Amino acid sequence: MNTVSTLSYAEKFRDFLHHHGFSNKVAIYIVDFSGLVIVLLSSMIVYMVLRYAINRFLKQLVVKSTSKWDDYLYDNKVFTRLALIVPALVMKVALPAFISDYPGAIHFLESVLGIYTACIMILVAVSFLNAVYHIYGDFEVADSKPIKGYVQIGKIIVFLIGGIIIISMMIGQSPLNLLAGLGAMSAVLLLIFKDSILGFVAGVQISSNHMLMIGDWITMPKYSVDGVVIDISLMIVKVRNFDNSISTIPTYSLISESFQNWRGLISDGGRRIRRSVIIDMTTVRTCDETILHELKEFGIPKEIQKNATNIGLLRWYLQDYLRQHEAVNQQMTLMVRTLAPTENGIPLEVYGFSALESVLEFEEFQSTLVEYIISIIPKFGLKVNQRAGCCLPPV
């Protein structure tokens, strides 16, 4: 079977134009330009068909799939950006056949296609890293070992390598020659990427030493930070303060400066309770029959009542009350004690740990507890010294 080459079609078209009054030179330009247009249109049609197949058929497969990794790849446009390479491949194969008489133009277009392909590969690599970050985020270890900093380092490396390749194509030099020249600029590069390098080092230390994870409650007075960590990246750590404001902290500062992490309040069994009420010392006395009669409703055993003081019975009752309260962690230290007397009176302190993890529930319980203590103090024949204030701040 005889085959008709692209060149024979071009010759027939050129003869047709020449027959209709076009000069030979003009006819050649028209034929070559038409071939270039055909190649461009063909590559665009191939891309549109491929994109339609991705958005129509591949999307259906992704939706039906039980795994989520393919959803992240699709949502981050890994497949659609890969499809952008196909038109470049079509043009690279077809152009020499249509404009073989213009080696300079072919070389120029091949350079442009090479740069275009490198840019698309950079976008594909960035999209893939974004997908990896979201896939990893579905694992439980993601909160304790975040990889956002590593992903950002990966993107920087991708852009550096891609930039070197693109520049080498533009100036017609080998990428290795450019890398050799970059050695002399290492000091400048270190200065430019100083924060990124410090952030990367900090991220490695934070992750390996379990210093910080998303969801931790931290305080850092220097930066007016008191809230929950919501994001850990290469350069900064974002914290949502309890007034709903967002603070950003340089990642490196978390290993170069001190901060408090209150994670143990939850992981070790609850938040610490520490509240004090100042008792008027002049109202402390040994219990008589009148006081004991008033205290019958509190169910204090008779053996506890012997030679007891009213503040002693109050301590016993509060201890027993808290031992039966569901909001108190019974496996940790719990005591009601009197502190050293001061000129304002005797501090009566409740010290223990809550079983409540929610900040709102915890604060509500502490407030209710103080209110209850103040309400029953008069029944024990005691008075609160209001001049000293009633409560110490939470610790």
Alpha carbon distance 298, 316 (integer Å): 10
CB 309 within 8 A of CB 331: no
CA distances from 79 to 75, 137, 301, 334 (A): 9, 21, 76, 59
Hunting for tokens 């008033």 — which residue is that?
Answer: 294
**Dihedral sign of CA atoms 202, 205, 209, 214 in order:** positive
Q: Residue 84 has what pLDDT?
A: 84
Does this model's pTM top 0.75? My answer is no
Q: Residue 15 has what pLDDT?
A: 59
Q: Residue 159 has what pLDDT?
A: 87
Structural domain spans, the chain: 6-200, 213-265, 267-388
Strand extents, DSSP E, the chain: 217-220, 225-232, 236-241, 246-250, 260-261, 272-279, 335-338, 346-353
**How many CA within 13 A on the CB side of residue 322?**
30
Q: How long, in residues, is the chain?
A: 395
Written as tens digits, the pLDDT of the chain (395 aa) is 444 444 455 555 555 655 555 665 666 666 667 767 777 888 888 888 888 887 778 777 877 777 788 888 888 888 888 888 888 888 777 776 666 666 776 777 788 888 888 898 999 999 999 888 888 887 877 766 777 777 878 888 888 888 888 888 888 777 777 766 666 566 666 676 677 777 777 777 776 667 788 888 888 888 888 888 888 877 788 999 888 889 888 888 888 888 888 776 655 556 788 899 999 999 999 888 878 887 888 888 888 888 889 999 999 999 999 999 999 988 888 999 999 998 889 999 999 888 887 778 888 999 999 999 999 999 898 999 876 444 444 44
Alpha carbon distance 389, 276 (integer Å): 9
- CA nearest to 232, candidates 152, 176, 331, 163: 152
Report the CATH fold assignment for 213-265: SH3 type barrels. (2.30.30)
